[in-house]
Structure 1
Amino acid sequence: MTTALYRRYRPESFGEMIGQSQVTEPLMTALRSDRVGHAYLFSGPRGCGKTTSARILARCLNCAQGPTDTPCGTCDSCIELGRGGGGSLDVVEIDAASHNGVDDARDLRERAVFAPARDRFKIFILDEAHMVTPQGFNALLKLVEEPPDHVKFIFATTEPEKVIGTIRSRTHHYPFRLVPPAAMLEYVEQLCGQEGVEVEKGVLPLVVRAGGGSPRDTLSLLDQLIAGSEDARVTYARAVALLGYTHAELLDEVVDAFAASDAAAAFAAVDRVVQTGQDPRRFVDDLLERLRDLIVVSATGQGAAAVLRGISAEDLARMQGQADAFGPSRLSHIADLVIATLDDMTGATSPRLQLELMVARVLARGAGGAAVPVPVPAAAAVPAAAASPAPVPTAAPSAPAAMPASGDRAAAASGPAAAGVSAPSPETAAPAAAVEAPPVPTGPVTLERLQQAWPQVLGRLEDVSRSSWMLASGARTAALDGDVLTLAFSSQSDVAKFKQLAAGKGPSEDLRQAILAVLGIRVKYIARHDAGGGPGGPAASGPASPSPTGPGREARPRVRDRSG
């Protein structure tokens, strides 16, 4: 029967600690200069070395050659507090989770009165100190404030804010942090060498990622992989299956399908995720991790090796090819879609459906990351500068004498026939519809032009915020008076949601920025409830409908939003 890795390799001196120099160096300096306090508070995430550091500090204080910043390791106190030691009578470790009341505090006070049995100090280590009740802390307060000369306190906790302020103010507080991935990766590589274990490439980065910066959790996972491997060799396939991550080959398959816009391959990969029993949320998270790596590779080129540690040169070359197939803009856009899907999956009843919809959205963007063109009238497909007919001088005898009687006046005035060119074929008209309008069109912005450009505004808004797009899609552009836009919503709750702002962001601001990008005008709003109204721009109200500004509409109560 073997001892767990995290116990066999528990540090025995501050010099063996990794990633906690902000704690170890000040403590070693205090020990060298004989400025040791009477009470310490060690706080930080679980498994980052708080209790281990408390034991090392106890060894340094009670070492026969101390107090010293480096325990000798040979005296009785150092041996008893070492890895294989059974503990010292003068170092009392208390689990505060089960000894947290007033009676336990009174018992501790009685034990603190007696002098150490052998060593220099009697040291009390209270683990999980945040579990002590306020009454228990108050019972300890006087002892912690003015302890006997031979008593030292070390509190270890993951939640320092739950330790009452009167106790915290009487301690030296040292915050521990999670160990950075680079330092952790180097440490586990060294440990595998000492253990004589062969590890396939890609395994240790997965272990470090799964450990989340906690040395104890990382070593526990590595110990599990080593115990479940044959011939002292940890394979990548077994590590992926045990840790629950997505295999790199499957991620490559999905990324290549996205780059080639191959829907069949992309959905086949998604089906493999589901059929093999993997968690769709984990797959989306792993895909986001891969997209992040591709963005780094695209941005840094050959310098990516300094950021993506633990990845072989062969893998970096393959990722460079994938990044080049997308481009930075498209990679960023796909990453935004994946992040939104990951958020939507929280609490979702059908994560597979969310995953498949995400794949559909990514594929629908197509090359270049452009948004899917929204079906719009013919007039909205041409540049916005030509969307509105120019005013015809009444004194010009050669001006056209008749206008079309249908609602397609803008199309008749700005279509290809009006310019004297042949109409584009259906094959060439489809790509032209996806071209964005110039950001700042010339000429005045009227209600009619706003309604014609409304699908383009919604298309841009969808790329910014899906929720804002859904809310604006249900609104009707009722009137435009200068820069004041009146929007009619079908319910009062939609009006309230539209007006919500948090840190200067919200649906109203998102829509304002989309209108500014398409039409070059920064609008203010009048948001009102109109139960008889319907969603849309020109399709709902018509290009020449007088109802939004008529007397009947003016009589309705309005909620004005002058933000921005």
Structure 2
Amino acid sequence: MDSPLALYRRYRPETFAEVIGQEHVTEPLRAALAGNRVNHAYLFSGPRGCGKTTSARILARALNCERAPIADPCGECDSCRDLARGGPGSIDVIEIDAASHGGVDDARDLREKAFFAPVKSRYKVYIIDEAHMVTTQGFNALLKLVEEPPPHLRFIFATTEPDKVIPTIRSRTHHYPFRLIPPRLLSSYLTELCELEGVSIEPTALPLVVRAGAGSARDTLSVLDQLLGGAGPAGVTYQLASGLLGYTPDTLLDDVVDAFAAGDGGGVFGVVDRVIETGQDPRRFTEDLLRRLRDLVIVSAVPDAPATGLIDVSGDQGERLVAQAARFGRAELTRAADLVAAGLTEMRGATAPRLLLELICARVLLPAADHGTDGVLARLDRLERRMSIAGSAPAEPAAPAPAAAAPVAAVPTAVPPTPVPPAEKLAAPVEPDPMPEPDDFDPEPPEPVEPVASAPAAEPAPVATPAAPPAPAPTGSLSLVDVRRLWPDVIAATQRKRRVTWIHLTQNSQVVGFDGTTLTLGFNNAGARGSFEGGSAEVLQEAIREVVGAEWRIECILDPGATAGGAPPPADPGFPAAPAVSAAPLTSDPPPWDTPAAAEPAPEPPAPRRPRMADIQAEAEAEPPHDPDEAVDLDDADVDAESGAELLVRELGAQVIEEIPHG
């Protein structure tokens, strides 16, 4: 049994209606044939495999059809059957390959035979393929015949280089330029052919076949014929197409693009190593990377490019391109594409393509080393992206400002309703009588509390406690992907502050979760987690404030899959309001029970006084068996503020968040 013909021969068009992607040529030709306005000489030019010779054969069939003048050959008469796809051919239609018959002697032989009338057809048609190979002497020998042919003679010249056809010949022909076939039209055509052949093809493999064909129908069908021949029961898969055609898999391109976006040098050079270890060509990888960057540049400018067909990709790959383009700025993408394009030019003829590929990747990763316009714009893109992620978080601490003008409202928010003993201790040095209970406190001074109750008195408490991060709303826009992208910069900031923290973050932990307010770190052993919680969490929070501009809570666990080890424990579970108590003397005025005059609403807020750490010191000295009359004076300026802070930590389990300068 004979093998079947190649695809481009089995499915060669037989009418102008079957020619795809050349409507600008086929429609005028059909109109000229139907109106019997056919010229004596035609020049078909265009890239290879786009339908020039096929259209010349269809034109010859239509000219010699028994039903002429007709736009398309009928396919039923003898002439049409002889010139059909599997027909024997016609003696009156002569095809000449000018590559081997382009000399002056061949032109003279053609001129002598051309004057004989056709044997059984209406016209004698000469199809001269690769017409640009005809020598100048050969064209000059044909010039008179082409200019004034006998009535039964027609010439059709087909060439890929019309400029090499001498002007005297071109001026005597009707020139029809053919074009490359659009990718989307070619993809749909290949899908139809696969259905006719009964072989399935994955949608992700179609772009590879179209890309390999480069817009040529004949070349594309040759590639598809090769894939169909090697297809198994699953049909033409993406792995089969990428492996046979030598293209870089999308997974490698996705990995290197994600590493570029995150500034991960290890990931980038790891992909380069995988390219070399799998035996792929570094030049082809660089070319595929440049094509991916080109797609990202287009998607960055036109986000709906995959959906509208501006770029020919499958649906899932289009979603990945949109997500990847969102991680870059336009200047970053343009700079990276320029660097890769310049490196691809340098790689031609290079003896060490891997070295050049690694240098290209190093240049893309280091925009700070580029002092030109592209490097500056790339760095600006990164800063703008971080600011857009962080939002207006640094401006949020300004909210507690109204509380500073309302000293009375700050105390009820700082004193918790449940833990009564700490409040009683604070009241002991102030008055000989015991301090009233929290339940009796609100009705006793109703007048000073009510005017200040309308002020945002509850806001200072979240600022002073570790649960403050939910306040800035813009930080909620961050995702785990954004945090991992900014993580290298955060680690670099911790290296400048504390090297032990940097070692823990780079060797013993990784980011495993983020919910908008809490950052979860997974540690590979319990010892590293305990060491990190001993003082590195605060350093990490400072680095996050510098890089991201937000306040996050740090939670440490043993493993991403293990049970969470919990966040750093609070100072003392028995005194949940201790941080608020420690912060109240630092940010507010003395409590209203200091003097009887303080109960009266003042027309203007009193001038700020120094923190009342002396109250805490007096409370410590007021323990039995000391006499209450010998308690330290509340206005004693000799009491050291630092000893008061130590007393807060020892007695109340508080944690001093920040010290505000006096006055």
TM range (shorter): 0.5 to 0.7
Query: Which structure 2 residues correspond to residues 63-102 of structure 1 after superposition, within 5 A?
Result: 63-102=65-104
Aligned pair count reads 379
1:109 is the counterpart of 2:111: yes
Q: Specify the alignment match of 2:308 in structure 1.
A: 306
1:6 is displaced (CA, Å) by 0.5
1:169 is displaced (CA, Å) by 1.2
Q: Specify the alignment match of 1:61 in structure 2.
A: 63
Q: Specify the alignment match of 1:297 in structure 2.
A: 299
Q: Specify the alignment match of 1:33 in structure 2.
A: 35
1:309 is displaced (CA, Å) by 5.1
Amino acid at match of 1:186: S
Q: 1:260 aligns with which of 245, 259, 262?
A: 262
Q: 1:276 aligns with which of 272, 275, 278?
A: 278
1:310 is displaced (CA, Å) by 4.6
SS at match of 1:98: coil
Cα-to-partner distance string for 1:216-243 (whole Å, 9 max, x where unaligned): 0000001011111112601111111111
Summarize the Cα distance change of 1:288–1:315 in structure 2 as closer, same or farther, 3 Å threshold: same
1:131 is displaced (CA, Å) by 1.0
Q: TM-score, normalization: structure 2?
A: 0.55
Q: 1:361 aligns with which of 363, 374, 381?
A: 363
Query: Which structure 2 residues correspond to residues 382-397 of structure 1 after superposition, within 5 A?
Result: none
1:313 is displaced (CA, Å) by 2.7
Amino acid at match of 2:224: L
Cα-to-partner distance string for 1:399-455 (whole Å, 9 max, x where unaligned): xxxxxxxxxxxxxxxxxxxxxxxxxx9949xxxxxxxxxxxxxxxxxxxxxxxxxxx
Check whether the contact 2:60–2:125 (CA below 8 A) recurs between aligned residues: yes
Check whether the contact 1:141–1:167 (CA below 8 A) recurs between aligned residues: yes
1:366 is displaced (CA, Å) by 7.0
Check whether the contact 2:43–2:158 (CA below 8 A) recurs between aligned residues: yes
Query: Which structure 2 residues correspond to residues 295-444 of structure 1 after superposition, within 5 A?
Result: 295-308=297-310, 310-365=312-367, 370=375, 427=496
Q: Specify the alignment match of 2:52 in structure 1.
A: 50
1:45 is displaced (CA, Å) by 0.9
Summarize the Cα distance change of 1:278–1:371 in structure 2 as closer, same or farther, 3 Å threshold: farther
Q: Structure 2: how far apart are the matches of 1:167 and 1:257?
A: 57
1:262 is displaced (CA, Å) by 1.4
Q: Specify the alignment match of 2:140 in structure 1.
A: 138
Q: Structure 1: how far apart are the matches of 2:241 and 2:78?
A: 42
Q: Specify the alignment match of 2:515 in structure 1.
A: none
Q: Structure 2: how far apart are the matches of 1:366 and 1:12?
A: 61
1:329 is displaced (CA, Å) by 2.5
Check whether the contact 1:63–1:72 (CA below 8 A) recurs between aligned residues: yes
Check whether the contact 2:329–2:378 (CA below 8 A) recurs between aligned residues: no
Q: Specify the alignment match of 1:387 in structure 2.
A: none
1:370 is displaced (CA, Å) by 4.4
Q: Structure 2: how far apart are the matches of 1:201 and 1:366?
A: 41
Amino acid at match of 2:37: R
SS at match of 2:32: helix
1:272 is displaced (CA, Å) by 1.3
1:28 is displaced (CA, Å) by 1.0
Moved more, 219-228 or 361-370: 361-370
Amino acid at match of 1:42: F
Q: Structure 1: how far apart are the matches of 2:105 and 2:305?
A: 60
Q: Structure 1: how far apart are the matches of 2:159 and 2:146?
A: 16
Summarize the Cα distance change of 1:74–1:198 in structure 2 as closer, same or farther, 3 Å threshold: same
1:258 is displaced (CA, Å) by 0.9
Q: Structure 1: how far apart are the matches of 2:347 and 2:49?
A: 29
1:292 is displaced (CA, Å) by 1.6
**Of the two, which has the highest radius of gyration?**
2
1:365 is displaced (CA, Å) by 2.4
* Identity among equivalent pairs (%): 63
1:318 is displaced (CA, Å) by 2.0
Q: Structure 1: how far apart are the matches of 2:170 and 2:42?
A: 9
1:195 is displaced (CA, Å) by 1.4
Summarize the Cα distance change of 1:363–1:30 in structure 2 as closer, same or farther, 3 Å threshold: same
Moved more, 322-331 or 199-208: 322-331
Check whether the contact 1:97–1:131 (CA below 8 A) recurs between aligned residues: yes
Q: Structure 2: how far apart are the matches of 1:3 and 1:204?
A: 22
Q: Specify the alignment match of 2:130 in structure 1.
A: 128
Q: 1:228 aligns with which of 227, 230, 233?
A: 230
Q: Specify the alignment match of 1:22 in structure 2.
A: 24
Name structure 1 gaps, 5 residues minimum: 375-424, 429-564
Cα-to-partner distance string for 1:73-100 (whole Å, 9 max, x where unaligned): 1111111111111210110011111111
SS at match of 1:287: helix
Q: 2:243 aligns with which of 241, 244, 252?
A: 241
SS at match of 1:41: strand
Q: Specify the alignment match of 2:162 in structure 1.
A: 160
Check whether the contact 1:261–1:366 (CA below 8 A) recurs between aligned residues: no
Summarize the Cα distance change of 1:353–1:371 in structure 2 as closer, same or farther, 3 Å threshold: farther
Q: Specify the alignment match of 1:419 in structure 2.
A: none
Q: Structure 2: how far apart are the matches of 1:125 and 1:18?
A: 21
Cα-to-partner distance string for 1:355-389 (whole Å, 9 max, x where unaligned): 00011111122799845999xxxxxxxxxxxxxxx
1:338 is displaced (CA, Å) by 1.1
Summarize the Cα distance change of 1:361–1:142 in structure 2 as closer, same or farther, 3 Å threshold: same
Check whether the contact 2:50–2:181 (CA below 8 A) recurs between aligned residues: yes
SS at match of 2:73: coil
Q: Specify the alignment match of 2:179 in structure 1.
A: 177
